[in-house]
């Protein structure tokens, strides 16, 4: 237990504040799309749409912040709005931000301006993006224009939001299926390509920040310029050990070799099947077990009832019974979607249909694709009810860590869609149904931004030895797990024994890409409950050890930004002229663990990749990090640029979370740390980087029903009242 004794309040000069960000809160504008807009479209993530309409309603949100007693208001400038075309700046957009700054100041608050909040114009990416040799020059030109027009209206400036997270647009750990952030690298990029890009990114960020600080301070010598890296939240003793990974680097080759542990699985895993293409829906839980390809079909869950049943809405099922098929997503979500129903579980769709026919249940919950084909087989006997209850993205799956095989499957899927084979197969196996466009998902946006997407010859060249793909090539055929019971997708005719369907065609496309011969595939029949287990092997028992080792043994999870500012990085990452080029020490802190628990380390990484429902909470790390940074930069004031929580994390509600963390700030200040401000993320609900909006992605002190309320009404949460009380008392 932490010491529960009282601590003195924070001084009157302490800056309590709240925050917003342009992409998360401003409405989408087709004339000035940013890189995130493209990323969300291409990966079928939740688009921002109108977001919170902060662009038009910023006076309302600023007044809410003032009513809480805030002294600081953080926002970000949308680079794509002020520079919609390379070298051409928009006067109207700049006038908007000028008025925004004036409104903040008139409300008695200090503006904190962020210049780059996880997104940038498409024309910048077309020039090579953040890793291009000219990026520091491109960025400095943009910042110079901002400084010329707005530089004297704000004291605090942040050049890059969470640079520690930007690296995940160029590298991905072996257990993740896709790049977490844009832009992503071209298909087929190996660990050396990824680490080379990361090294270029880190160096460019230091150079760009240093140049930006110079132009801001030329206009406004009193400006305070800094950056807010995201702190991982490890215990201080462990973070110091991890930091040695980057401090001890001697060459780019050291960085590359070290990164291999993060990007490639050290123990190769393969099961009875190489690939599963079997109506397998992508879910977070499954993504912890296998690696998913791009999506090749998007179904939806709905209800099948007898034609004359008086069931039309979900409410009609209250107190009645529903059947689901074992090991499908319907089995795991039925109680959430239909909490007031009785649930039965069937072995397969055939058994489920018999249960419906005998009136043992009222409805069958399943994927609409399977249910529509049942209706087609039995005209006028069944119908769909209740509407679409959820989206069900289908993807191929391989064992985690088999990146070469996953790249090959991804490439085959993309070819299958773009060549027209997908549409032809759909028309053949789903006659009479509207031909839907396949999801246009790719692993990167390099082909849009102007970079070259790797075009691999067919057949593939031999893969590296000791990889699963090489094992498949040496064997001479690929083993693909398929269902045999879903008409249209994968069905074995009981009379002829022939397999056919869209998924069978896709499986042959995978074989065609790997071998140049579509016949070199062995179909392995699987039941729903076998789809994932058959991909895996006994190697999986080492995952609880392999993942933490991968996380803790790399430079990628170090506190590299502040180590660079302190002169403790090799110069190939942080040039000498960049050392010490900050006026305050900023950082973001959300989640943490108190000791070396393997499960908790995995939860910490889940939270870092946006799975906040698994986030671990430990406020003590915040105190330790404040003390650590005070020792690293004894002459600098410290600002906590972001801290906050979703509705409930680790069993702790947002109001309690704020009290616990602000109390640690008080302790640090009492113990001599020059902590000058605390900014709560965020003033309102917002679009949390492509995630579906729900309590697990809502950080708002004021709740907005982003998907259900066209008026976007701001509703105070208990955390808003708690924060108001904290500000009034200057602490807990």
Question: Structural domain tally of the chain?
Answer: 2
CATH number at residue 697: 3.20.20.80
Give pLDDT, residue 442: 44
Compare 430 and 228 and report the one with higher pLDDT. 228
Is the pLDDT confidence value at 543 over 80? no
Is the pLDDT confidence value at 451 over 50? no
Give pLDDT, residue 441: 43
Give pLDDT, residue 328: 82
Q: How many CB atoms lie within 10 A of CB 133?
A: 10
Is the pLDDT confidence value at 436 over 80? no
Per the domain annotation, does 85 fall within a domain?
yes
CATH number at residue 330: 3.40.190.10
pLDDT in tens, 683-694: 999 999 999 899
Angle between helices 91-106 and 54-68 (to 10 degrees): 10
State whether 162 and 256 are in the same domain.
Answer: yes
Per the domain annotation, does 8 fall within a domain?
no
- The confidence band for 509, taking pLDDT boundaries of 50, 70 and 90, is very high
Give pLDDT, residue 141: 97
Is the pLDDT confidence value at 37 over 70? yes
Per the domain annotation, does 4 fall within a domain?
no
State whether 253 and 285 are in the same domain.
Answer: no
The tokens for 279 are 């109506």
pLDDT in tens, 492-505: 998 999 999 999 99
State whether 529 and 548 are in the same domain.
Answer: no
State whether 593 and 717 are in the same domain.
Answer: yes
Per the domain annotation, does 170 fall within a domain?
yes
Mean pLDDT, residues 551-557: 90
Phi-psi label, residue 355: left if phi above 0, alpha if psi -120 to 50, beta otherwise: alpha
Domain endpoint, select from 483, 504, 535: 535
- Single out the residue of 15, 18, 2 nearest to residue 714, CA to CA: 18
SS3 294: strand
Q: What is the DSSP letter of 270?
A: -
Domain endpoint, select from 490, 510, 535: 535
Compare 75 and 539 and report the one with higher pLDDT. 75
Give pLDDT, residue 435: 60
- The confidence band for 557, taking pLDDT boundaries of 50, 70 and 90, is very high
Mean pLDDT, residues 458-465: 83
Give pLDDT, residue 446: 47
State whether 231 and 308 are in the same domain.
Answer: no
Per the domain annotation, does 269 fall within a domain?
no
In whole numbers, what is the pLDDT of the chain averaged over residues? 90
Is the pLDDT confidence value at 432 over 70? yes
Is the pLDDT confidence value at 618 over 50? yes
Taking CA atoms, 267 is separated from 186, 236, 238, 259, in Å, by 25, 30, 25, 15
- Single out the residue of 592, 613, 590 nearest to residue 604, CA to CA: 592
> What is the C-alpha separation between 435 and 127, in angstroms, rounded?
37
- The confidence band for 440, taking pLDDT boundaries of 50, 70 and 90, is low
Tokens 């401090």: give the residue: 247
Concatenated DSSP letters of 211-234? HHHHHHHHH-TT-EEEEEPBP---
Per the domain annotation, does 298 fall within a domain?
yes
Give pLDDT, residue 470: 92
- Single out the residue of 716, 682, 688 nearest to residue 702, CA to CA: 716
Is the pLDDT confidence value at 730 over 60? yes
State whether 231 and 162 are in the same domain.
Answer: yes
State whether 318 and 230 are in the same domain.
Answer: no
pLDDT in tens, 57-97: 999 999 999 999 999 999 999 999 999 999 999 999 999 99
Domain endpoint, select from 535, 559, 587: 535
Mean pLDDT, residues 112-130: 97
Which phi and psi angles does 420 have, rounded to 5°? 95, -5
Compare 354 and 450 and report the one with higher pLDDT. 354
Element (H, E) at 74: strand 72-76
Instruction: Name the percent of the chain lying above pLDDT 70.
Output: 95
Which phi and psi angles does 698 have, rounded to 5°? -110, 110
Give pLDDT, residue 387: 81
List all residues 6 or more positions away from 656 whose beta carbon is below 8 Å from its beta carbon. none
pLDDT in tens, 271-311: 899 999 999 988 877 887 888 988 899 888 889 999 888 88
State whether 37 and 186 are in the same domain.
Answer: yes
pLDDT in tens, 175-199: 877 789 999 998 778 889 999 999 9
- The confidence band for 567, taking pLDDT boundaries of 50, 70 and 90, is very high
List all residues 6 or more positions away from 457 whose beta carbon is below 8 Å from its beta carbon. none
State whether 548 and 652 are in the same domain.
Answer: yes
State whether 254 and 284 are in the same domain.
Answer: no
Is the pLDDT confidence value at 312 over 90? no
Per the domain annotation, does 7 fall within a domain?
no
Most confident by average pLDDT, 286-300, 461-475, 619-633: 619-633
Domain with 641, as residue range(s), is: 15-262+543-729
Mean pLDDT, residues 711-722: 98
Angle between helices 502-515 and 403-418 (to 10 degrees): 120
Compare 62 and 541 and report the one with higher pLDDT. 62
Long-range contacts from 427-430, C-beta under 8 angstroms, 24+ separation = 429/487, 429/488, 429/489, 429/500, 429/501, 429/502, 430/369, 430/372, 430/373, 430/488, 430/502
Element (H, E) at 509: helix 502-515
State whether 307 and 212 are in the same domain.
Answer: no
Per the domain annotation, does 678 fall within a domain?
yes
Q: What is the DSSP letter of 684?
A: B
Give pLDDT, residue 439: 52
pTM of the model: 0.82
State whether 142 and 39 are in the same domain.
Answer: yes
> What is the C-alpha separation between 570 and 446, in angstroms, rounded?
30
């Amino acid at each position: 237990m932490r010491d529960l004794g009282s601590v003195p309040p924070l001084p009157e000069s302490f800056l309590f504040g709240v925050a917003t960000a342009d992409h998360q809160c401003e409405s989408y504008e087709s004339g000035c799309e940013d890189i995130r807009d493209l990323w969300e479209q291409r990966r079928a993530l939740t688009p921002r749409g109108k977001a919170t309409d902060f662009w038009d309603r910023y006076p309302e949100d600023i007044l809410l912040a003032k009513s809480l007693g805030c002294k600081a208001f953080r926002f970000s400038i949308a680079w794509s709005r002020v520079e919609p075309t390379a070298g051409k700046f928009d006067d109207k957009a700049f006038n908007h931000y000028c008025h925004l700054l004036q409104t903040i100041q008139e409300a008695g608050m200090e503006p904190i301006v962020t210049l780059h909040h996880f997104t940038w114009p498409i024309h910048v990416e077309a020039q090579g993006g953040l890793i291009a040799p000219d990026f520091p020059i491109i960025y400095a030109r943009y910042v110079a224009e901002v400084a010329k027009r707005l530089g004297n209206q704000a004291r605090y400036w942040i050049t890059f939001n969470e640079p520690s997270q930007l690296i995940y647009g160029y590298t991905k750990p072996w257990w993740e299926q896709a790049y977490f952030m844009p832009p992503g690298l071209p298909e087929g990029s190996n660990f050396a390509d990824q680490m080379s890009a990361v090294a270029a990114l880190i160096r460019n960020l230091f150079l760009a920040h240093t140049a930006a600080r110079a132009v801001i301070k030329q206009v406004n010598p009193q400006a305070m310029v800094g950056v807010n890296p995201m702190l991982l939240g490890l215990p201080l003793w462990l973070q110091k050990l991890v930091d040695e990974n980057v401090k001890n680097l001697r060459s780019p080759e050291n960085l590359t070799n070290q990164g291999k542990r993060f990007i490639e699985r050290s123990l190769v895993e393969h099961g009875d099947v190489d690939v599963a293409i079997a109506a397998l829906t992508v879910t977070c839980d499954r993504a912890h077990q296998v690696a998913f390809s791009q999506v090749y079909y998007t179904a939806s869950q709905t209800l099948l009832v007898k034609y004359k049943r008086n069931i039309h809405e979900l409410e009609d099922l209250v107190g009645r019974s529903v059947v689901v098929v074992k090991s499908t997503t319907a089995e795991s979500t039925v109680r959430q979607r239909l909490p007031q129903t009785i649930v039965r579980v069937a072995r397969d769709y055939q058994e489920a249909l018999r249960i419906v026919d005998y009136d043992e249940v009222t409805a069958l919950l399943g994927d609409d694709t399977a249910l529509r084909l049942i209706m087609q087989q039995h005209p006028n006997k069944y119908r769909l009810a209740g509407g679409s209850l959820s989206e069900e993205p289908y993807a191929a799956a391989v064992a985690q860590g088999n990146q070469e095989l996953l790249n090959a499957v991804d490439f085959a899927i993309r070819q299958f869609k773009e060549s027209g084979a997908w549409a032809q197969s759909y028309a053949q196996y789903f006659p009479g149904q509207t031909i839907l466009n396949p999801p246009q998902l790719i692993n990167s946006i390099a082909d849009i931004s102007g970079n070259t997407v790797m075009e691999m010859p067919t057949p593939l060249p031999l893969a590296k030895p000791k990889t699963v793909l090489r094992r498949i090539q040496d064997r001479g055929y690929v083993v693909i797990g398929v269902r045999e019971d879903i008409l249209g997708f994968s069905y074995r005719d009981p009379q002829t024994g022939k397999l056919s369907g869209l998924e069978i065609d896709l499986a042959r496309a995978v074989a065609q890409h790997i071998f140049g011969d579509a016949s070199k595939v062995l179909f392995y029949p699987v039941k729903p409950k076998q789809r994932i287990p058959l991909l895996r092997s006994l190697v999986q028992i080492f995952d609880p050890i392999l993942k933490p080792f991968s996380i803790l043994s790399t430079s990628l999870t170090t506190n590299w930004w502040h180590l660079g500012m302190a002169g403790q990085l090799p110069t190939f990452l942080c040039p000498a002229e960049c050392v010490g080029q900050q006026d305050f020490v900023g950082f973001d802190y959300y989640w943490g663990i108190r000791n070396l628990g393997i499960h908790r380390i995995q939860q910490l990484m889940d939270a870092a990749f946006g799975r906040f429902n698994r986030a671990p909470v430990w406020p003590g790390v915040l105190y330790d990090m404040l003390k650590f940074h005070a020792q690293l930069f004894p002459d600098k004031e410290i600002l906590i640029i972001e801290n906050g929580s979703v509705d409930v994390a680790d069993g702790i509600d947002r109001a309690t979370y704020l009290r616990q963390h602000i109390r640690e700030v008080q302790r640090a200040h009492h113990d001599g740390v020059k902590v000058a401000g605390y900014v709560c993320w965020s003033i309102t609900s917002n679009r949390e980087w492509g995630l579906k909006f729900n309590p697990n992605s809502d950080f708002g002190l004021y709740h907005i029903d982003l998907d259900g309320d066209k008026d976007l009404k701001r509703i105070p949460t208990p955390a808003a009242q708690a924060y108001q009380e904290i500000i009034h008392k200057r602490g807990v």
